[in-house]
Amino acid sequence: MLIDTYGRVATDLRVSLTDRCNLRCTYCMPEEGLQWLAKPDLLTDDEIVRLIRIAVTELGVTEVRFTGGEPLLRPGLVGIVERCADLAPRPRMSLTTNGIGLERTAQALRDAGLDRVNVSLDTLRPEVFQAITRRKRHGDVLRGLDAAHTAGLTPVKVNAVLMPGLNEDEAPELLAWALENGYELRFIEQMPLDPQHGWKRDGMITAGDILASLRTRFTLTAEGEDERGSAPAERWLVDGGPARVGVIASVTRPFCRACDRTRLTADGQVRTCLFAREESDLRGALRSGAPDEEIARLWRLAMWGKKAGSGLDDPSFLQPDRPMSAIGG
């Protein structure tokens, strides 16, 4: 079991498969990209599967989410999913992706054992998409979403970040589109994880702003804390349900007290929080020949030291040195 000193138990593992991405979203990385991790620093497919096996069979993890960077850029992704689907107990597996390439891989991922996907899409307007991502790939994302739905990777969840001067007016439009297509929409407050450290609390689009915008067109009824559990998104029934919309308010309504996540970077570091400035190395133990029991012990030790919260409300808060693409969302 992965327990911390505040009694929280981590059962949800987020695994970053690569720090590379084929978009250049303004809130995630600079236009020229980043200095990518060298191949020898990345965990191999076998190392990833071994760590997931230890997490599932020794440490009580029940949910595995594959992230990036962009995880569809990982050549061995389908094989990793297939091998993890054979674990006993079998974890529930999902994928967070920008959707580019999903059109051609959705069915293979479903056949391998993937349960569902989260796809990032901040706008329905191709020109705004290009301004945000610096790429002309809007149509690829829409086709990827459709392919995921057709393949049965459901519920298909769509993650959207709203930003001033770009797409702040699109919340009702995005929700109407999601309802029409059978997707579950979740808005995410922009977080201080950009390598440029350009994020500013002043002027950000908050959960309150998003809900006020949605209520100009829809009736929202809070789902309640009992339904939410440890999920990061607060959810509302739309026009009486059953459709729902979620808001992940990491900045203005942090949910740290119920956090059940542990994170593994593409180079084998344990992170206890997206905003942590410390990491614990498992790759070194793997490559030095440590047995499963020792790796499990190191992982438990890392999680025991998890802090009470993200520290975003502390005036002394400092962004992590590593950007979102290296950490894994």
* Binding site residue list: 14, 21, 25, 27-28, 65, 69, 96, 120, 157, 191, 256, 259, 261-263, 273
* Two structure tokens written together for 274: 């997206």
* Two structure tokens written together for 73: 């850029």
Binding site listing for [4Fe-4S] cluster: 21, 25, 28, 256, 259, 273
CB 73 within 8 A of CB 113: no
| Among 79, 71, 76, 125, CA closest to 99 | 71
CA distance linking residue 147 with residue 151, whole number of Å: 6
CB 273 within 8 A of CB 254: no
* Two structure tokens written together for 157: 């969840």
CA distance linking residue 327 with residue 97, whole number of Å: 14
Q: Give, in order, the Cα–Cα distances in Å from 216 to each of 126, 165, 169, 292.
A: 24, 19, 11, 54
DSSP 301-327: HHHHT--SS--TTSTT----SS-HHHH
Fill in the amino acid letter for 233: A
Q: Would you tell me how many other CB atoms lie within 10 Å of the CB of residue 88?
A: 7
Question: Helix, strand, coil shares of the chain as percentages rounded to 5?
Answer: 35, 15, 50
Q: Would you tell me how many other CB atoms lie within 10 Å of the CB of residue 90?
A: 14
Binding site listing for GTP: 14, 65, 96, 157, 261-263
| Among 286, 284, 279, 287, CA closest to 262 | 279
Binding site listing for S-adenosyl-L-methionine: 27, 69, 120, 191
Separate counts of helices (H) and strands (E) for the chain: 11, 12
